[in-house]
Each structure stands twice: as C-alpha cells, then as structure tokens.
Amino acid sequence: MKSSTPMPNEIQLQIEKPVYGGDSLSRLPNPGGKPGKTVFVPLTLPGEAVSAHITEDKRSFFKAELDQILTPSPNRVAPRCAHFGTCGGCQYQHADYPTQLEIKKQILRETLSRANVTTPAEIAVLAGEPWACRNRIRLAFTPTGDVAYRSRNSHDLIPIHECPIAAPIVAEIALDLRSIPGSVFDRKDPRNDLAEVELFTNQDSSELLITFHAHSGNPIHRKLRFTSRESSPQHRAEIDDQPFLTYRVVGHDFRVPHGAFFQVNRHLLDDFATLVTDNHRGSVAWDLYAGVGLFARHLAQSFSRVIAVESAPASRDALAYNLASTSSEPIAATTLDYLRRNREQREPRPDFITLDPPRAGLGDEVTSLLNAIGAPKMVYVSCDPATLARDLRALTQERYRIDKITLVDMFPQTYHLETVVELSRS
C-alpha cells in the first residue's frame, strides 16, 4: 500500500548508513526537526550529500535513484567496470575495498544486534584479491545472441563486453563462445533455443566447464582442458562433454559436477576451508549440508569418523565419490531428517558439527534439535546475515556461546557476505 505522504520529485539527502542489499539509508528533510521518512538510495556512501529522485513510494519508506553526488565520500573511487550502475551484478564498485569490508562488518554487527545476539568485540575478516575472483558466472542471451547480465532495476538484459570480477578465462570464453569447437552456440540453428550459459573454472584455470541452458530440453555441457597455465583459446588441449570439474582445495581433489553447490571465490577457498575445519579434532564429526564434501574431506584427517549429510541430487553422488577413500560416511538425507533420526536412535554425540545451510538458514526445528544434541563445538557458515541472526539467537538462548565471528568476503564488489561463526557449549 502506498503512503499518503506527498512524493517529492527531486530531493537533496544526507546519506547516513549502508543497509543490506546494496542501498544506503537517508531520511527526508523534515521542517519540524524530527527525522523524516526513510529513503533508500543505491550507489551512495555514508557521509555523502546527494541529489536524487523518488522512484517508489511505500508505506514506511521511499526508494530513490541517484542524480548527482554533491559532496563525495573520501572513500569513493571510480568503478572499474563500464557496466557498473546498469548491470545488477555489483553494488559496491564505487567504494574502495577497505570501505567495502567496513560496510559489511557494520551491516553484519547491526543485523546480529537487532536479533539480540551478543557478538565478540572484534569481527575478524578473511579477504583476498577483490578482482578476477569468481570461478563461476551465469549469463543470459539476448535475442541477437550477445551474452548479458540482468539489469540493476529490472529483468532487462544488459549486454556486456567485460566482467572484471570473473576469473580471466571465464570472462574471455564467455565473450567468445563461438570459438569453442563443437559449440552448440549457433543462433541460426532453431534447435538451439539457448536461454543462458554458465561457466565454471577450477583453481588454476586448467579446466573450464561450460553449460548451455535452452528454453526447452536438457543442459548441454562442454568441458575444456588447457595445456598451459596461461589458459586461453590458443592453449586449448581438448574438449569433452563431462559435466564436472576437478577442483583442488588444500591439497585434495574434489569432483564438482554441474548444479552442485561450491564456493565461488577462487582466491579464498584454501583459507576458507582451513578456517572452518582446522583446530578441531576428536572421535566423531558431523558435516551437515555437506555439498560435495569440502569440509568433510578435511575433517577426515582429524576425526576417526565423519558423517557427511547432503540431500541435493546434484551433490550426493559427488560427495560419495570425493569421500570414497576416507573415513567419512556420506548420508543421502536432509539435515532435518538426519537430526530427527538421530534423536530417535540416540547415536553417540558428535564432538564437532559444521553447518553450511542454504540462504534460508537452519530454522526452528533444526536449531532445537542441535540444542538437544549438544555437540561441544560447532561452526556455522552462513551466506545470509538475517537468517544467521535468527538461528544464532535460538542457539545462544540455550547453552551455546559465540567464540569467534569471521566475515569472509566471498563476493567482493557486491553486498553479499559470508560469515563463519565458531560456537562452543557452555
């Protein structure tokens, strides 16, 4: 429902603080001296004075678009990508990288505080090179066959000619798909009604999996291998249609098929896996929401038995393959079903649990079961601060305490943030 407040066309605003999603918060000037209605403005930074125009009038807030920076922040920089501002892929290229990290820490701390979650005095940060970091991207096709991302403000397609957050080989091949031997990319062929393409490379760009998605029919895979670390079309060695990559993390090779969840920041994967699994040892560990076994494979080195629970069909087979030579045991089940069964069977309590749920988080029943099981230590990996805050409140209301929080910047130049929370039973 729209507000009855008159909607001004152009306004001047003082930007107050960042909010989750990429916008910044301001308030309408109020002649009475009290704070006016909240306004959310993208592409701005705290402390800036800007002019903007209102685009949406909601009951309790306005949404606006930036017209001009009147007083820029000293932390403002020129965006590296020509598509920034129209493309919806990045939100923070106008901020220098230290500022991006501070913005994310502020948003994380405020989100947890609103949920009455007590946080440590310091939030640690794990970050790396903020460009050319993504090992996977997905693009759409325009009617003329150009690759495109979605617009920042709509579902419109924005054709691109660069993507500086993608691994170089991913960006290069995405912009030159017609060069692939045996490529299905041919807009003149009516059988190839292509909608999107996904490109995924491994740790050293020696392999590249390309998946073409049609409006109808099954995905078509093309996997390239390269003869040189200087991956490029000129160094291409061979091509096949196997729908998986081999990805090495902390000395272990993982089979990662198309459709399976896998972290996207190629610069941080080794340090990330180490952060989650190191310094934990014992008899039994559970890896819940295990994916292809990134954590379970490492935990097998320091625990006598590791139970890895995964329900997604795209990940389950790869999980079993990746754990075949270890003491880990893959379980094809949802985390909720596994915890329910464990409650009924009363198996030995695990010494350690890793949790890496999807964006929806754990939810009430899973947190209740975890509290009842009472593992001495847990590590919760989250990609959404709101659901993380909800779940941590439920866990810490019982006997868990937060020992450490680490912001892991898996997604530089964007508002997305990953969090690793270490918990122990008091």
Average pLDDT over residues 108-136: 97
Kind and range of the H or E run holding 172: helix 168-174
For residues 187 and 259, give the distance between their C-alpha atoms in angstroms, rounded to a whole number: 25
Band of pLDDT at residue 161, cut at 50, 70 and 90: very high
Q: What average pLDDT score do residues 105-111 get?
A: 98
Sign, CA torsion 307/308/312/315? negative
Tell me how many helices (H) and strands (E) the chain has: 8, 23
Q: What is the pLDDT of residues 61-76, one digit of tens each?
A: 999 999 999 999 999 9
pLDDT of residue 182: 58
The pTM of the whole model exceeds 0.85: yes
Residue 164's DSSP bridge partners are: none
Residue 237 has pLDDT above 70, yes or no: no
Cα–Cα distance list, 55 to 77, 87, 91 (Å): 26, 18, 18
- Where in the chain are all domains bearing CATH 3.40.50.150? 99-130+265-425
Q: What pLDDT is recorded for position 339?
A: 95
pLDDT at position 203 is 96
pLDDT tens digit sequence for 263-320: 999 999 999 999 999 989 999 999 999 999 999 999 999 999 999 999 999 999 999 9
Burial class, 154, CB count within 10 angstroms (exposed 0-12 / middle 13-18 / buried 19+): exposed
Residues 6+ apart with CB under 8 A from 133: 165, 167, 264, 265, 266, 267, 268, 412
Catalytic-role residue among 81, 90, 133, 383: 383
Report which of 414, 417, 418, 416 is spatially closest to residue 94, judged by C-alpha positions.
Answer: 414
pLDDT at residue 216, as a whole number: 79
User: What's the token pair of residue 273?
Assistant: 């896996």
Res. 229: pLDDT tops 80: no
Per-residue confidence band for 233, with pLDDT thresholds at 50, 70 and 90:
low
Alpha-helix runs per DSSP H in 42-167: 97-114
CATH 3.40.50.300 fits 99-130+265-425, yes or no: no
CATH 2.40.50.140 location in the chain: 10-76
Domain range 10-76, its CATH number among 1.20.1260.10, 2.60.120.620, 1.10.645.10, 2.40.50.140: 2.40.50.140
90 is catalytic: no
What is the percent of the chain with per-residue pLDDT over 90, rounded to a whole number?
78
Are 161 and 200 spatial neighbours (Cβ–Cβ below 8 Å)? no
Residue pLDDT, tens place only, 328-359: 999 999 999 999 998 766 667 899 999 999 99
Q: What is the rounded average pLDDT for all residues in the chain?
A: 91
